[in-house]
Chains A and B, each alone.
Chain A
């Protein structure tokens, strides 16, 4: 089957000839099954990524709740799960939350939105983007299967454990390929005049995010290779096979690397705020610097347990943890300034992104407490789990805000505003209810796998996890609905190029040539003129 894509002249135009971006003939999108399986259209691939990631996220959430219910009595592997299954469930929950849910979901959103924002007719390397998704899907399916047949880190079936390592490596490889496509689009397929300082903040944040993923996820590949070889040949390096194998890959979901999954939250919040306020974003340079700084603080590939068990005590790790709240605070301030300078409408995107920023701020502040020694010995306790949960939930809320904000471009219909406003509140409430018992447990010095002595709080944490899942389901329900015949092209009055495309965007994104861009808000002047005429 041949993957369909825009013609090379359009797809890979990144040069100075704007006319070359004009479609040379009618571009017809494939329909039916071929439109899904054989498409290299970035919107289709992005939607597939988002759909698959949401399903896997549901599985991750359910396993998290199962693990939580199992340890309500303070022990682990003694109630609804047996001693062998419980660590596997916990391991699946922690690794899938990042690798199978939040990273691919954000990558999918980026694949849909970034080419539209930079005025491109297609993503860079469209076939590679499609290959990235299908590789991810196969890798994810094998990963889930390996857990199901008693594999996973520390599983009882040796071949299945090897399968888990190989499948996880495949997932990482797929995500890397997708990251290269998105980063290259932002760097080299921008339309004429769309300089890097003019790109929308979501695109900038995804550029930073994908570059950080490209610079850190290969370390995961290297670790998985070692884990695979070591496990297959007797475990002379990493020790005897057991649940501790999960520690070798746990750094992906822990501070500081976990922040790499939350960088897009900053970009989504800034773009949504400017659109909701119908004003220009002030201090764009500061905004870009803040996002860039947060991205740098999310580099955690050096925190390898295999070679550096005491990484939490290193000054660099401590400094990164202490500095992480500053960029989030800066972006919160900029969002406030933007809203103050315009006439903000409390859209679902705005409500969601502000809540996501606040939860992320709490997450970074919780993380900033970990470097302190003495009275607070929080490293290696449930406090760290609380920090990871808060950060990943912030990224989830940011993802939902982005999905609602760009719903007309992503799913071709406007999401239900009530659901879009309610879901982030429910999820944020759930995150706090989940994280507080974990944090309290951390202060009391409990390890990461079991909470003892405070059984009632275990129940509260499970209730919090349930609220997070409920909120996510509300959000998805609000996005899925019957499409109206008169879906607006731009429901919010946006000022960036994606709002110049149809709903849903056509195969080649833009109906005509994309004119030179001369400002960061190419459509704002037109909107202002419109308002003036209407008045």
Chain B
């Protein structure tokens, strides 16, 4: 599969839905990807299974405050330095770029890096949604270390961490990112193609593209497009309502908030969605209808536009969509890593559409 100019819009749409309210402002990463495709041609996306099983994969992601990125952008040379440092650590060349987070800007950014380095990009990731912390990956569940973790800033400063566990790696990168001017390019979880086949979520990039194509059909007004989208993503419309209250605040470097929606047909019904960077819990009358790690996303009722938390405003009419997380997130061990209690909620995980 190749990602060319024609695929960028649909891929970006799918990324916003998988970003579940977080994942940053997609528009700048779209510009970067268009620019990379213009310069280097369409980006080749490969299955991990096509690669030499012993081949080294180079994971990459942007990490930090999205407002820092929209003001400073990046230099463009960061990923090359980070991946070079990773290759030096392993004393071997990488064979492909691996996305860590297919959700938000980190869906498109690895494609930019792959184009610039002349490498293919692997059709896989470690989340198939956006999560706010580095340890929240399928690789952590498989016992794979995030270290060495390499962060590079716009000036070319390189920081390398060797942390005893992945949660510690997360704490290190957060304080490092502040010193680096609010965001950095990061590489961690370097794995072989075989480890990727065994433990990553395969097909995430093509999945995001397919989700985006179906949203695009909704936006065009195609007949049956909503059913097609919901069927493909195994998703349901939890609630269709109007935003009547938004509260956002910054607490210890995290954006927390709640959004309240009033049902369009029945104003006595309200839904509350709790946010910590991403949408985490949807509650009606104190009862959880959907919880993390399942995906909760907002899509504009009229236009089919998926919305990030920053896009929300009073009066918008939104479908609250719930999509089951990848099966890898629905095990007891996974719930211990990314379930509601990890985010401080005293409730159990409520699987959308039941368990399989």
Q: Decide whether A and B are members of one complex.
A: no
